[in-house]
Structure 1
Amino acid sequence: MHEMSLCEGVLQILESEANRQHFTKVKTVWLEIGAMSGVEIEAMRFCFDVIVRHSLADGARLEIIEVPAEAWCLDCAQNVAIQQRYDACPQCGSYQLQVTSGEAMRLKELEVE
Structure 2
Amino acid sequence: MPIYGVTYLHGRIQSPDYPHHDYILSSADFGRAYLAEGWATKFVRAFLDQYTVVLVGYQAESPPVKYLLQGLNHDGLRDTANLYAFDRGRLEDIEVKWRDRGVTPIP
User: TM-score, normalised on structure 1?
Assistant: 0.24
Larger RCO (alpha carbons 8 Å, 6+ apart): 1
Higher helix share: 2
Higher strand share: 1
Greater Rg over alpha carbons, structure:
1
User: TM-score, normalised on structure 2?
Assistant: 0.25
